[in-house]
Amino acid sequence: MNIIHVIVLAIIEGLTEFLPVSSTGHMIIASSVMGIATNDFVKLFTVAIQLGAILSVIILYWKRFFQSVDFYIKLIVAFIPAAVFGLLFSKKIDALLESALTVGITLFIGGIILLFVDKWFNHADVKEEKAISYPTAFKIGLFQCLAMIPGTSRSAATIVGGMAQKLSRKAAAEFSFFLAVPTMFAATGKKLYDFYKEGHRFTGEEIKLLAVGNIIAFIVALLAIKTFITFLEKRGFRLFGWYRILVGGVIIILYMTGHNLEVI
């Protein structure tokens, strides 16, 4: 893995982490195309640079993180389903992360769903995070579990889950951003633990690559979040749906015609 690989993957992470298009799916395909997907450090890198992206949420919404204890309780309640599910099925999830075909299929199916989301859930009663109840937070957390299938998109699953609970598009998107903080911290922590448990140790060069990747992901994510919220309020999800269908369809076609996209 070199600095060019780092820059490409970090930009992809920053652009896609908070968009409903699956950052994990995009990085799996990108690392596969660049021929570095089988490297253990690369697999860790694609998770660890999410810390840079979620730091952008804390910076942009820092006042929300100091407003009340209730805010944190809601995040914990919403985080619990993914934490339990992830611990119980971690090995199966890791296996799915090594399949480009899975990414293609879930991108395609998710794209079809996004074409209709705005019509299905167009009666919002909850306009801001403060009005979200604990049961609603838990239900959104259940939707987040779907994102453990690569290509689904954590943000897409939680935003759609929020809209299904009558949150406005903006409220659902912002709660999805907030929920990313404990979720991605936990995912990165577990990945680091597994990395060390397997006997791996960071070299000085790898530490530098991680630092550069997180900085780039942070900067790009700052811009992406602001743009996404504005676009979502005005245009909805249809463009993202068509994009997912296009990318997912291309991946499926390439796989079915014998192109080597597998990352194992």
pLDDT of residue 102: 82
167 in helix, strand or coil?
Answer: strand
pLDDT of residue 190: 80
67 in helix, strand or coil?
Answer: coil
Query: Is residue 264 situated within a structural domain?
Result: no
Query: Is residue 261 situated within a structural domain?
Result: no
pLDDT of residue 85: 83
The stretch 199-208 carries a mean pLDDT of 83
Q: Across the chain, what does the average pLDDT equal?
A: 85
Query: Is residue 263 situated within a structural domain?
Result: no
pLDDT at 214 over 60: yes
- 56-94 confidence digits (pLDDT tens): 989 988 888 888 888 999 999 999 998 888 777 666 666
| Tokens found for residue 204 | 């000085």
pLDDT of residue 217: 93
Cα separation, 68 vs 73, whole angstroms: 9
pLDDT of residue 109: 92
193: number of CA atoms within 13 Å, CB side? 6
Query: Is residue 61 situated within a structural domain?
Result: yes
The stretch 105-109 carries a mean pLDDT of 91
What H or E segment, with its residue span, contains residue 162? helix 154-164
pLDDT of residue 263: 44
- 231-263 confidence digits (pLDDT tens): 877 788 889 899 999 989 988 888 788 765 554
Number of domains in the chain: 1
Query: Is residue 170 situated within a structural domain?
Result: yes
One-letter amino acid for residue 11 of the chain: I
Burial class (CB in 10 A: 0-12, 13-18, 19+), 197: exposed
Other beta carbons within 10 angstroms of residue 21's beta carbon come to 24
* Percentage of residues in the chain having pLDDT higher than 70: 92
Query: Is residue 73 situated within a structural domain?
Result: yes
Q: Decide which of 113 and 100 is more confident.
A: 113
Which has the closest alpha carbon to 18: 54, 60, 62?
Answer: 54
- 11-44 confidence digits (pLDDT tens): 999 988 888 888 877 887 788 788 886 677 888 8
Boundaries of domain holding 183: 3-256
Other beta carbons within 10 angstroms of residue 12's beta carbon come to 20
Sign of CA dihedral 132, 129, 16, 110: positive
The stretch 106-113 carries a mean pLDDT of 92
Query: Is residue 262 situated within a structural domain?
Result: no
pLDDT of residue 126: 77
pLDDT at 166 over 70: yes
pLDDT at 125 over 80: no
C-alpha angle 168/24/127, rounded to 5°?
10
